[in-house]
């Protein structure tokens, strides 16, 4: 049974108070809190197994290597990848997308090519492509977003041409919560001999994601948004793509050999997958934390996680839609929306609203949420964002709404 009240007992941060109030943490789209199981797994690694991986024959190094490789296997099973060879660890979603840009895009894109992205993207799925387009002289085209914050699929279909080489899109908006139809987009991409990159930062932690069923070429997501420590991210990629790609970062552990020849210089042979793309000493302890985070989520069931957030979102929207002073952004249909609600209180600054909520121990996000083009499209300068996760409850939602009404009176 999925019980958020029982789940909360695993999270020690909820034992503290802020400004005399129990914490209501509604900033999960930025990062999630960590359960004791994850915290203890990281502590256990440092207490018993700490060593560098793939570099030593001694017991500690062998143990650390096994735990690190186990983490890759756990991620592969979680998203239904073929094997750990398709799982590359990065430090976050941003680095994973940049890896695609510079290991694939730098060698595959050129003048006359086109990359499609959307106006709802996080800056991490805009900026790398814009930077690379200046180097390789391809064009970045932007798919429109409708007034309700959902993707304009007609705009997408109209923008696809024989020049389209890549479509890169978020699975779920970190502003409106709108969930995009990845199966439909991947089919459109592949029917036009293009590949698809999916930003899964707001989807993988909150719903079942099956890379085979969705036919995704590249998927990027972050551990810290799904109960794991910071500093660990994931790039999933089809093996046939990774095998043909050049490494993004060079150094130790991503090579089989470096042999010097007086006439030719150093001749380099890359390591096998996925180590070819994991140069240097990795974040082993965070990878182990990610393993335990995934196991925790699997015990809960990702379908249950998604349904819990859907119910919270539906309940919150029901309460807020009654308030004429609240402007809501994004779809109201919770079947195509994840647990994110962005809003403004009329005639009040979004940052002021967030600070006033903090006085009551309620943690939200305010500003552009690293998605300035979407705010421009919605004709707003910024917004307040509440985002839910497994440990949030209806009682927290009710207090949140009550405090918003108090803030309105102050405003």
pLDDT digits (tens, 9 = 90+) for 260-308: 888 888 888 888 999 999 999 999 999 999 999 999 999 999 999 999 9
Reading the block at residue 167, the tokens are 């479509």
Choose the weakest-confidence range: 88-97, 143-152, 212-221, 254-263: 254-263
pLDDT tier, 52 (very low <50, low <70, confident <90, very high otherwise): very high
Q: Where in the chain is the domain with CATH 3.40.640.10?
A: 39-298
CA angle 191-194-200, nearest 5°?
Answer: 105
Q: What is the mean pLDDT of residues 19-33?
A: 97
Q: Please name the helix (run of DSSP H) or strand (run of DSSP E) that holds residue 38, with its range, or none.
A: helix 36-44
* 45 DSSP 8-state letter: I
Alpha carbon 404 to its chain's center: 28
User: 91 near 231, Cβ under 8 Å?
Assistant: yes
User: 23 near 398, Cβ under 8 Å?
Assistant: no
Per DSSP, the three-state class of 87 is: strand
- The per-residue pLDDT for range 159-192, each reduced to its tens digit, is 999 999 999 999 999 999 999 999 999 999 999 9
Region for 76 from its dihedrals, namely left if φ exceeds 0, alpha if ψ lies in -120 to 50, beta otherwise: alpha
Per-chain mean pLDDT for the chain: 96
Does the pLDDT at position 130 exceed 80? yes
Per DSSP, the three-state class of 84 is: helix
Compute φ and ψ for 382, nearest 5 degrees: 180, 180
User: 118 near 151, Cβ under 8 Å?
Assistant: yes
pLDDT of residue 411: 67
pLDDT of residue 344: 98
- The per-residue pLDDT for range 346-371, each reduced to its tens digit, is 999 999 999 999 999 999 999 999 99
Torsion sign across C-alpha atoms 162, 169, 126, 279: negative
Is 370 designated active site? yes
- The per-residue pLDDT for range 222-268, each reduced to its tens digit, is 999 999 999 999 999 999 999 999 998 998 888 888 888 888 888 88
User: 385 near 368, Cβ under 8 Å?
Assistant: no
pLDDT of residue 264: 85
Which of the residues 266, 285, 338, 370 is marked catalytic? 370
Smallest CA-to-CA distance from 345 within 326, 330, 328, 363 is with 326
Cis status of the peptide bond prior to 274, with omega within 30 of 0:
yes
Alpha-carbon gap, residue 153 to 319, rounded angstroms: 30
Alpha-carbon gap, residue 124 to 127, rounded angstroms: 6
Cα first-last separation, the chain: 42
Compute φ and ψ for 326, nearest 5 degrees: -100, 130
Choose the weakest-confidence range: 57-61, 255-259, 374-378: 255-259
CATH of 39-298, one of 3.40.640.10, 3.20.20.140, 3.40.50.620, 3.40.50.10490: 3.40.640.10
Smallest CA-to-CA distance from 32 within 384, 405, 363 is with 363
The Cβ-side half-sphere exposure at 313, using a 13 Å CA radius, reads: 31
Smallest CA-to-CA distance from 329 within 349, 345, 343 is with 343
CA angle 334-3-14, nearest 5°?
Answer: 95
User: 365 near 384, Cβ under 8 Å?
Assistant: yes
Alpha-carbon gap, residue 167 to 195, rounded angstroms: 6
User: 388 near 312, Cβ under 8 Å?
Assistant: yes
Q: Where in the chain is the domain with CATH 3.90.1150.10?
A: 4-26+301-410
Q: Estimate the share of the chain in helix, then strand, then coil, as percent rounded to the nearest 5.
A: 45, 20, 35
Q: What is the CATH number of domain 4-26+301-410?
A: 3.90.1150.10
Residues 6+ apart with CB under 8 A from 216: 182, 186, 196, 198, 236
Number of H helices, E strands in the chain: 15, 17
């Amino acid at each position: 049974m999925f019980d958020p009240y029982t789940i909360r007992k695993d999270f020690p941060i909820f034992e503290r108070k802020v400004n005399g109030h129990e914490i209501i943490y509604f900033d999960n789209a930025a990062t999630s809190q960590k359960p004791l199981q994850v915290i203890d797994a990281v502590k256990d690694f440092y207490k018993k197994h700490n060593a560098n991986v793939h570099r030593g024959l001694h017991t500690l190094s062998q143990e650390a290597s096994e735990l690190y490789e186990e983490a890759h296997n756990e991620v592969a099973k979680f998203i239904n990848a073929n094997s750990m060879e398709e799982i590359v660890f990065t430090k976050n979603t941003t680095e994973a997308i940049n890896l695609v840009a510079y290991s694939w895009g730098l060698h595959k894109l050129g003048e006359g090519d086109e990359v499609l992205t959307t106006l709802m993207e996080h800056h991490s799925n805009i900026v790398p492509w814009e930077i690379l387009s200046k180097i390789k002289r391809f064009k970045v085209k932007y798919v429109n977003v409708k007034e309700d914050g959902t993707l304009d699929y007609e705009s997408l279909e109209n923008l696809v041409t024989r020049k389209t080489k890549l479509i890169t899109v978020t699975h779920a908006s970190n502003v409106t919560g709108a969930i995009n139809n990845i199966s439909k987009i991947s089919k459109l991409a592949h029917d036009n001999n293009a590949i698809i990159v999916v930003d899964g930062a707001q989807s993988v932690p909150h719903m079942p994601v099956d890379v085979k069923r969705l036919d995704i070429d590249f998927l990027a997501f972050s551990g810290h948004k799904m109960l794991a420590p910071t500093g660990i991210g994931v790039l999933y990629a089809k093996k046939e793509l990774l095998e043909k790609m050049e490494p993004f970062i060079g150094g130790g552990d991503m090579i089989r050999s470096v042999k010097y020849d007086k006439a030719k210089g150093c001749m380099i042979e890359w390591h096998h997958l996925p180590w070819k793309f994991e140069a240097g000493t990795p974040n082993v302890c965070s990878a182990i934390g990610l393993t335990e985070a995934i196991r925790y989520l699997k015990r809960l069931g990702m379908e249950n996680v998604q349904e819990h957030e859907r119910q919270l979102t539906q309940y919150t929207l029901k309460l807020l839609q009654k308030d004429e002073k609240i402007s809501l952004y994004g779809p109201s249909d919770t079947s195509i929306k994840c647990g994110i609600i962005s809003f403004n209180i009329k005639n009040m600054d979004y940052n002021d609203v967030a600070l006033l909520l903090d006085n009551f121990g309620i943690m939200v996000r305010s500003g552009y949420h690293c998605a300035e083009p979407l705010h421009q499209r919605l004709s707003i300068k910024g917004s307040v964002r509440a985002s839910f996760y497994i440990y949030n409850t209806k009682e927290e939602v009710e207090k949140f709404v009550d405090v918003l009404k108090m803030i309105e009176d102050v405003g």
